[in-house]
């Protein structure tokens, strides 16, 4: 079977991508330093521990597996930390990605599927976002991802590399079979934090700001189920295999939910109350991020089948109750 190198394959989205790749007939080769990923999440193909900042280690892995393509998920991604420690994000995300791209080009692996983010757009008031919206990131996380996109375009011009770039919105949910799921230390994502609060694993969920210019005062985000998201990545891989060249796609549903709406829907799914407190805004948070693009549907044939809020919470709750990688 065809080998695909999956950086960050021990993480939340990467592990789901590995499962989807295996189901599609590929062999996912996980490359991960396990700083934020989990060894127990690597279940669907070989594992190679290493860091993107270690070029020699990357060269070894490319030589060993001769992957046909790279799916690049590995990155630091906490907005709050990125505001406080921008150098960490520039060093890890940008320098690491440069190492990866140069190693791939040297090995003749010229197809890359890149995990970017809607955070590259920044905060555009009352605008639904498509692929042509100006990229004005508010923090080093979004800025680092935008820079990697530019880097990929430069290597396309110099070496013939082709990249499918996915800018996606808030990823949620978990594998319906609960083989893999979402678990971070520290946890920063809304739905797992909310489920921890429901389950008594934390005293309360902190809602970061209730004075935004939205109907209920809390931030609005477009949520996409992780399984729908990784299905798009497999379609992106096939796009490159078919020689269709580089392309950018937003991945979102076009529907926004406020933090308070997510809390309310979680009550309906779990039949439990969500304890929460109102805290200050987090620096770097945009008011509203919602996709206005239909490009992925029109060109890739991608349809998000599981991306209703109730389904995302239900799948995440099933995973939450099944046990985590540290248990």
Q: 45, 38, 46: which is closest to 13 by C-alpha?
A: 38
Q: Which helix (H) or strand (E) holds 55?
A: helix 55-65
Task: Give the C-alpha separation, 233 to 137, whole Å.
Answer: 23
160 touches 111 (CB < 8 A): no
Please list, residue by residue across 233-268, b when 16 or more beta carbons sit within 10 angstroms of its beta carbon and e when fewer do.
Answer: bbbbbebbeeeeebbbbbbbbbebbbbbbbbebbee
DSSP character for 189? -
Residue 141 known to be catalytic: yes
Q: Would you state the structure tokens that stand for residue 204, as one six-digit string?
A: 């309360």
At residue 269, the 3 state secondary structure works out as helix
- Short-list 228, 164, 237, 235, CA closest to 3: 237
Catalytic residue among 12, 121, 141, 212: 141
Q: In the sheet where 111-117 sits, what is the strand order?
A: 47-49, 27-32, 3-7, 69-72, 111-117, 162-168, 247-251
**Distance between CA 195 and CA 201 in Å, rounded?**
8
Residues sharing a CB contact under 8 Å with residue 200, sequence separation 6 or more, in sequence order: none
**Which residues are part of the catalytic machinery?**
141
């Amino acid at each position: 079977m065809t080998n695909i190198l999956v950086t960050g394959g021990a993480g939340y989205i990467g592990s789901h991508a590995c499962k989807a790749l295996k189901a599609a007939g590929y062999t996912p080769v996980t490359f991960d330093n396990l700083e934020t990923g989990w060894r127990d999440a690597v279940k669907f193909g070989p594992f190679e521990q290493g860091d993107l900042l270690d070029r020699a280690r990357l060269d070894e892995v490319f030589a060993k597996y001769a992957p046909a393509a790279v799916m690049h998920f590995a990155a630091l991604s906490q907005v709050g930390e990125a505001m406080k420690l921008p150098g960490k994000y520039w060093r890890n995300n940008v320098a690491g990605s440069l190492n990866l791209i140069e190693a791939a080009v040297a090995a003749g692996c010229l197809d890359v599927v890149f995990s970017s983010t809607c955070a590259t757009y920044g905060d555009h008031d009352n605008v639904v976002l498509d692929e042509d919206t100006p990229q004005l990131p508010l923090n080093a996380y979004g800025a680092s991802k935008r820079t990697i996109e530019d880097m990929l375009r430069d290597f396309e011009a110099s070496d013939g590399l082709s990249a499918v770039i996915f800018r996606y919105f808030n990823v949620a949910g978990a594998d319906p079979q609960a083989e893999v799921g979402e678990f971070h230390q520290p946890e920063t994502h809304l739905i797992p934090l909310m489920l921890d609060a429901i389950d008594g694993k934390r005293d309360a969920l902190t809602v970061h700001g209730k004075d935004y210019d939205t109907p209920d005062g809390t931030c609005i985000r477009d949520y996409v189920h992780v399984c729908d998201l990784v299905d798009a990545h497999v379609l992106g891989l096939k796009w490159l295999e078919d020689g269709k060249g580089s392309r950018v796609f937003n991945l979102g549903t076009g529907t926004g939910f406020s933090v308070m709406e997510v809390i309310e829907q979680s009550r309906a799914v779990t039949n439990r109350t969500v304890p929460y407190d109102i805290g200050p805004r987090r620096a770097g948070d945009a008011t509203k991020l919602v996709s206005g693009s239909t490009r992925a549907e029109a060109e890739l044939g991608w349809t998000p089948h599981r991306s209703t809020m109730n389904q995302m919470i239900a799948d995440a709750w099933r995973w939450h109750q099944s046990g985590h990688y540290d248990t």
